[in-house]
């Protein structure tokens, strides 16, 4: 075919335009497929299809010039604890990081941290200490947005917050079953992320309210997906972890699998990663409910199953989740956050009817032995 000389440029332009358009379509379609393929878990794949936009993003670790700090060594360091997982995620212990250096890297990023906390029924009484101690020790110097979920908004104490820190109270229904409150947290976190947190924060921590901060908890804990090792089980072998052991549950973990036993009192990371985690755990919880099964430790069991196959990028040592009834052990140099001693029978709504509900956390171990 022959073209007249003034038609040629238009045809060329048309061909180039078509190629550019095809390239654009190809890139968008396949880059998305590629991202999906990185995910391991089946349930996570379907969740990733969501087109929500999040603020969270990976940033360069820029250290200010002329900052003076102790020279890091490759030979001298803590030898009494393991500070890296077999998949090469750091395990954060006192003495494995320089708080001044880490904070100087993260603070100029002008990050906003979301903290969700549930205070339903009588648990509202724990809020004052939780918030007051958080103001002293938790992510100090960072923009903070607390999201308090409660059925008793009028009982939320007024606590003085430092500049850049805000608190929102979100009313949620109460419940007669403490197990349901614990389990429903995943669903509520998920919907609140969808509605607002994804636009308001870069990182999120979801914490138990019946706890206090006792020492520095800062930017060393920031990561894509962050979990904490439960203080009750870090010296145990995996077959003694209180994972869900019934194959009928979607939280099931066989006896010969498992890395650590993670505490349900803390999940953290990029808002997007915590959103996916919450969504997957919620879906599995509902699937179990449809089959009349409730995992041994509700959302904590689903969390452990999720983290076994979707490894956290950072693991916090039990310094970040202690329990007041437990004596400090030699490897724990500093207790940063600890669950207060509570009278389960008094604070929980339905304990008088259910033997399992009054089983305090320290007796979880007995449960495992029984299962075994």
Choose between 123 and 203: whose C-beta lies nearer to ligand UD2.
123
Choose between 182 and 283: whose C-beta lies nearer to ligand UD2.
182
**Is residue 300 flagged as an active site residue?**
yes
Q: How far is the CB of 176 from ligand UD2 (least distance, A)?
A: 10
Question: 3-state DSSP call for residue 172?
Answer: coil
For the chain, helix (H) and strand (E) counts, in that order, are 10, 11
Q: How far is the CB of 118 from ligand UD2 (least distance, A)?
A: 4
Instruction: Return the structure tokens found at 157.
Output: 């104490």
For 46, other C-beta atoms within 10 Å of its C-beta total: 14
Q: How far is the CB of 140 from ligand UD2 (least distance, A)?
A: 22
Work out the burial of residue 117: count CB atoms within 10 Å of its CB; fewer than 13 is exposed, 13-18 middle, 19 or more buried.
buried
Give the orientation angle of helix 271-290 with respect to helix 298-309, to 10 degrees: 120
- 113, 203 Cβ separation under 8 angstroms: yes
Where residue 42 falls (left for φ over 0; alpha for ψ -120 to 50; beta otherwise) is alpha
Q: How far is the CB of 336 from ligand UD2 (least distance, A)?
A: 14
Which entry of 135, 187, 220, 300 is annotated as an active-site residue?
Answer: 300
Choose between 41 and 324: whose C-beta lies nearer to ligand UD2.
324
Instruction: Return the structure tokens found at 129.
Output: 């200490």
Q: CA-CA-CA-CA torsion for 24, 25, 28, 34, nearest 10 degrees?
A: -120
Choose between 334 and 357: whose C-beta lies nearer to ligand UD2.
357
Interface ranges with ligand UD2 (CB under 6 A): 118-121, 123, 178, 181-182, 208-210, 230, 263-265, 297-300, 339, 348-349, 361
Choose between 103 and 208: whose C-beta lies nearer to ligand UD2.
208
Which residue numbers are catalytic? Answer: 300
């Amino acid at each position: 075919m022959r073209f007249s000389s003034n038609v040629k440029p238009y045809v060329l332009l048309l061909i180039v335009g078509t190629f550019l358009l095809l390239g654009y379509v190809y890139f968008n379609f396949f880059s998305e497929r590629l991202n999906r393929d990185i995910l391991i878990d089946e349930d996570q794949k379907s969740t990733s299809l969501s087109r929500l936009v999040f603020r969270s993003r990976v940033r360069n670790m820029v250290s200010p010039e002329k900052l003076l700090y102790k020279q890091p060594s490759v030979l001298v360091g803590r030898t009494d604890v393991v500070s890296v997982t077999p998949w090469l995620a750091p395990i954060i212990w006192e003495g494995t990081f320089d708080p001044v250096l880490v904070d100087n890297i993260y603070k100029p990023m002008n990050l906003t941290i979301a903290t969700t906390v549930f205070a339903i029924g009588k648990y509202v009484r724990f809020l004052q200490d939780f918030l007051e101690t958080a103001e002293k020790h938790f992510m100090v110097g960072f923009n903070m947005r607390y999201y308090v979920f409660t059925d008793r908004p009028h009982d939320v104490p007024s606590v003085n917050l430092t500049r850049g820190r805000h608190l929102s109270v979100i009313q949620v229904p109460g419940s007669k079953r403490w197990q349901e409150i614990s389990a429903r947290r995943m669903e509520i976190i998920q919907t609140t992320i969808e509605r607002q947190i994804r636009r308001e924060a870069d990182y999120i921590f979801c914490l138990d309210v019946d706890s206090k901060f006792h020492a520095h908890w800062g930017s060393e804990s920031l990561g894509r997906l962050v979990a904490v090792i439960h203080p009750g089980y870090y010296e145990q072998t995996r077959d003694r972890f209180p994972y869900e052991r019934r194959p009928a549950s979607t939280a099931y973990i066989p006896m010969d699998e498992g890395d650590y036993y993670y505490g349900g009192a803390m999940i953290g990371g990029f808002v997007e990663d915590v959103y996916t985690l919450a969504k997957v755990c919620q879906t599995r919880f509902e699937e179990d409910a449809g089959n009349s099964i409730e995992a041994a430790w509700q959302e904590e069991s689903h969390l452990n199953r999720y983290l076994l196959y979707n490894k956290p990028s950072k693991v916090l040592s039990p310094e970040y989740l202690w329990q007041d009834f437990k004596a400090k052990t030699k490897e724990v140099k500093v207790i940063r956050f600890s669950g207060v001693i509570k009278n389960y029978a008094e604070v929980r709504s339905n304990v008088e009817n259910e033997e399992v509900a009054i089983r305090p956390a320290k007796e979880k171990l007995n449960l495992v032995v029984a299962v075994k």
